[in-house]
Chain A
Amino acid sequence: QVQLVQSGAEVKKPGASVKVSCKASGYTFTNYYMHWVRQAPGQGLEWMGIINPTGGSTSYAQKFQGRVTMTRDASTSIVYMDLSSLTSEDTAVYYCARDRAVAGIGDFQNWGQGTLVIVSS
């Protein structure tokens, strides 16, 4: 079955960067887009960006342009999300989420377990 397993919780200081990983299994990694979505404490879901695991092309929400980098390693079926210049407002649970259908966008059938990132001095 499809599994997305994310890296563990992180505590970072303001101004630092964080890199969260998401290891996919149970399907052909290159067939489905992957997204990153975050959720601040008590808040709603926020889409951050998308990566095409086939070629690694990306597209990011305007809010995160210049601060986020999504990459993938097709040999290990892992996608990464790197967020820089962290502030307390980046404290959130970060999820990777896979599209439901091949070439589909926006139906997130499978989710990682979430990675809590705390930004605190």
Chain B
Amino acid sequence: SSELTQDPAVSVALGQTVRITCQGDSLRTYYATWYQQKPGQAPALIIYGKNNRPSGIPDRFSASYSGNTTSLTITAAQAEDEADYYCNSRDSRDSSGYHVVFGGGTRLTVL
């Protein structure tokens, strides 16, 4: 089981805003990273750190934090945003500081 918890599935109407959450104790210590994965493809990093987007990632993707929860917000969702979304972070249970943990993933459907 993941130590980062995500809702398995979320849906959003085209053009509306959706929030995908990721919860876990590690997030009290470390920032999360968000990935988007489309069928048959490797994951792609979309948010890292407090709220940073790599070059090429649209600004409709953003992240926020509250306690042990981080939320990925997609503003004005597009059809191409339909994908699986994963969070990960360093694992605060590991004393070495090198371990990483993933959330179970959220399947986003754009209606």
- Interchain CB contact under 8 A, B43 and A45: yes
Contact with B along A89-111 (1 / 0, CB 8 A): 00000010000100001111101
Size range of the chain B interface in the assembly: 20 to 34
B104 and A61 within 8 A (CB):
no
Report whether B45 and A47 are in contact in the complex, using a CB–CB cutoff of 8 Å: no
Which of B49, B84, B88 has the most A CB atoms < 10 Å from its CB?
Answer: B88
For chain A, the count of residues having a C-beta within 8 Å of the partner chain is 21
In this complex, what residue of A is CB-closest to B26? A106
Q: Are A105 and B45 in contact (CB under 8 A)?
A: no
The residue of chain A having its C-beta at the shortest distance from the C-beta of B102 within the complex is A45
Cβ of B65 within 8 Å of any chain A Cβ, yes or no, is: no
Q: Are A44 and B105 in contact, with the CB atoms below 8 A?
A: yes
Interface residues, chain B, CB within 8 Å of chain A? 2, 30, 33, 35, 37, 42-45, 48-49, 54, 84, 86, 88-90, 94, 96-105
Binding site for B on A (CB under 8 A): 33, 35, 37, 44-47, 50, 59, 61, 95, 100, 105-109, 111-114
